[in-house]
Amino acid sequence: MFIDFGIIIGKIAFVLVNILNGAGILTWVERKQSALMSDRIGANRASILGIRLLGLVNSLADALKLIFKEDFVPPRGVRVLHFLAPIFAMGPVFLTMAVIPFGPPIELWGRDIKLQILDLDIGMLYVLAFGSIAVYGAMIAGWASNSKYALLGGMRASAQMISYEVVLGLSLIGPILVFGTLEPGLMVNAQNTYLWGWIPQWGVIVQPIAFLLFLPAAMAETKRAPFDMPEGESEIIGFATEYSGMRWGMFFLGEFAEIVVLAGIMTTVFFGGYHVPFLFDAVEKAGQAGFHFPWGSYFALGEVDRCDLANACVRCEARDTDVAPDADSLDVPAFSIRSIDARVMEGNAAGGPGEYRDYGPCHTVVGEVK
């Protein structure tokens, strides 16, 4: 029980650390990009022992500044809502990432571990449901400030977010129908096939219009240029005008974290998730793990013991023989292999006793190998 609990905590920590680090790096990238576009150097003043790292230290300095800066609350503002608004803006972003798979299943401590915090059959509905909660953060921030300018900014931000959330939801209908599932992990596996044997069946290939709708809608959801009207503080008053310190920082940390999360959703739905084109594991290619290209080239990625492929649901009992999980490599007439989700091996060893042993979702054949 403690191991299972530790695994869950480890997956949550891994996701949070990557989102926070990604959000921090993106703040630096946006500042540097803006500087280059306007022929400036950009943030480069902060340093540690003279080391500036192209301005990366500025991101750390900004975080420390926001933590120790005065936390101002308008005298006539609604203090409780003023406190809750940044949480509503940032919290759902991290919850949304819970259903996004970030790697193939692995086996540790005798357990098959999915690299996914929540394995939900309605995963994409979960994404849309929790993603829409961030709208309340912007609206509540404007209302709680007791300022007509902040209220107008909150209404403007909410209107934009709701509008483009509709487009996000509609753009996901096509891939959901094509892949036949709402579960992100199954959507990733459905894209691990090839059209005509050489074109990856990614969502962007089979649903290009959906991708072209999703991309600008995702940019608008994160309020990035040219959809940065809610935050155009040099021209208009935004919903976070009456915020300061780390509560102000939580709004913008949530936006950059949302970029990371939406990139994960886009990769999952439209770019095959964690699967790499033409990269096969040892079971799919009879112990030859590596890149197998359609024109016949093969780039190996290490040696694999073909009698020890536990991660791929194959247990070979004939330890003193050279057995590969491939029908052509077995000198047994009536042996067939069928590759499905669990990679179940089916067969009957002619000329020797055949026996099935159940290993949960997988099976192995124990027989006499010639």
Residue 1 included in any domain: no
Say yes or no: 158 and 297 in one domain.
no
pLDDT digits (tens, 9 = 90+) for 76-106: 888 899 999 999 999 999 999 999 999 888 8
pLDDT digits (tens, 9 = 90+) for 314-338: 434 333 333 334 434 433 333 233 3
Say yes or no: 60 and 110 in one domain.
no
Instruction: State the average pLDDT over residues 272-300.
Output: 77
Say yes or no: 260 and 309 in one domain.
no
| H or E stretch at 308 | strand 308-309
Q: How many domains does the chain have?
A: 3
Residue 4 included in any domain: no
Distance CA 134, CA 251 (A): 10
Of the residues 7, 40, 68, which one is the last residue of a structural domain? 68
Residue 40 included in any domain: yes
Are 168 and 128 a contacting pair, CB within 8 Å? Answer: yes
pLDDT digits (tens, 9 = 90+) for 13-52: 999 999 988 888 888 888 888 788 888 877 777 778 777 7
Say yes or no: 142 and 258 in one domain.
yes
Instruction: State the average pLDDT over residues 280-295.
Output: 71
Q: Give the per-residue pLDDT at 167.
A: 93
Residue 5 included in any domain: no
In the predicted model, is pLDDT for residue 301 greater than 60? Answer: yes
Closest Cα to residue 301, out of 288, 314, 310? 288
Instruction: State the average pLDDT over residues 194-223.
Output: 91
Instruction: State the average pLDDT over residues 179-186.
Output: 93
Say yes or no: 187 and 269 in one domain.
yes
Say yes or no: 269 and 171 in one domain.
yes
Q: Give the per-residue pLDDT at 362.
A: 38
Residue 50: helix, strand or coil by DSSP? coil
Say yes or no: 254 and 297 in one domain.
no
Say yes or no: 312 and 324 in one domain.
yes
Residue 291 included in any domain: yes
Are 284 and 249 a contacting pair, CB within 8 Å? Answer: no
Say yes or no: 156 and 183 in one domain.
yes
Domain that holds residue 115: 77-277
Of the residues 277, 300, 318, which one is the last residue of a structural domain? 277
